[in-house]
């Protein structure tokens, strides 16, 4: 049993029963899948971007990504039918639970100047979190990054209303703007500062390499 499932059964279920006034456990909302998605618009200009994205998603999720293609041509966007436009991974079961637990307690606290998620971003059954840089995920070593890219994480639940989704995710420990961000277990403030400094250094180095590569390509 994963740590997140244990928390759901021992803490989340009692809280949701009280908050939603439901006694039937099967009527309570739960997380069913998590989808990670990265757009590949830059891949048309830089072929190496696609490989970088695929390696990133594989390392973060432990699962092989699927390439998504355009269903129809759109001239105004210079889009052709069948053109690769993104990469995605869908997580369920144990991998989903482990990823969500790590997202809450490790990844989000690593985001620079993070002060919690906006409650307005919660929809009926889903919450989508956008990351500007993939280096916030602990599996990615900043000194190995040549190209920075963002990604989206969508958490899909059985909730039918935004209020139910918010109640579920809050009970699971998701840090919203008016809740404290939980620190990863065993990490001291000095280690947190060192980690942020390392991330900042890695971002600067990656940006410098990306700029040099772009300049070389134009030459």
Domain boundaries, the chain: 3-218
The residues that bridge with 33 in the sheet, in sequence order, are 156
**Separation between Cα atoms, residue 148 and residue 210, nearest integer Å:** 8
DSSP type of residue 77: G
pLDDT band at residue 100 using 50, 70 and 90 as cut-offs: very high
Q: Is the dihedral of CA 68, 69, 71, 72 positive or negative?
A: positive
pTM: 0.74
Confirm if 148 and 203 have CB atoms less than 8 A apart. Answer: yes
pLDDT band at residue 156 using 50, 70 and 90 as cut-offs: very high
* For residue 181, pLDDT beyond 60: no
**Separation between Cα atoms, residue 2 and residue 154, nearest integer Å:** 20
Q: Which CATH superfamily does the domain covering 3-218 fall into? A: Ribosomal protein L5 (3.30.1440.10)
Mean pLDDT, the chain, as a whole number? Answer: 82
**Separation between Cα atoms, residue 83 and residue 199, nearest integer Å:** 34
Q: Let me know how long the chain is.
A: 219
pLDDT band at residue 115 using 50, 70 and 90 as cut-offs: confident
The CA dihedral of 156, 160, 165, 167, to the nearest 10 degrees, is -150
Confirm if 31 and 96 have CB atoms less than 8 A apart. Answer: yes
DSSP type of residue 23: -
pLDDT in tens, 25-82: 999 999 999 999 998 866 556 678 788 889 889 999 999 999 887 777 777 666 677 7
CB-based contacts of 76, cutoff 8 Å, min separation 6 = none
Apex CA 142: angle with CA 115 and CA 109, to 5°?
20
Q: What's the pLDDT at 183?
A: 43
Q: Which of 54, 20, 82 is nearest to 151 (CA)?
A: 54
Residue corresponding to tokens 């439901």: 22
Which tokens hold the place of 66?
Answer: 């699927």
């Amino acid at each position: 049993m994963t740590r997140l499932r244990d928390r759901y059964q021992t803490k989340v279920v009692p809280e949701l029963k009280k908050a939603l006034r439901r006694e039937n456990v099967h009527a309570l909302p739960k997380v069913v899948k998590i989808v990670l998605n990265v757009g590949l618009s830059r891949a048309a200009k830089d072929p190496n971007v696609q490989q970088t994205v695929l390696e990133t998603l594989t390392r973060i999720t432990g699962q092989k990504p699927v390439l998504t293609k355009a269903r129809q041509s759109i001239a105004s966007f210079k889009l052709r039918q069948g053109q690769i436009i993104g990469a995605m991974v869908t997580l369920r079961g144990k991998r989903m639970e482990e990823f969500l637990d790590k997202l809450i307690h490790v990844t989000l606290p690593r985001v620079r100047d993070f002060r919690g998620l906006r409650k307005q971003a919660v929809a009926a059954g889903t919450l989508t979190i956008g990351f500007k840089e993939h280096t916030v995920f602990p599996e990615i070593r900043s000194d190995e990054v040549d190209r920075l890219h963002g990604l989206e994480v969508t958490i899909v639940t059985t909730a039918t209303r935004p209020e139910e989704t918010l109640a579920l995710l809050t009970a699971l420990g998701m840090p919203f703007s008016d809740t404290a961000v939980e620190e990863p277990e065993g990490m001291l403030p000095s280690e947190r500062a060192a980690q942020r400094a390392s991330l900042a250094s890695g971002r600067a180095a990656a940006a410098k390499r990306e700029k040099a590569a772009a300049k070389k390509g134009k030459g």
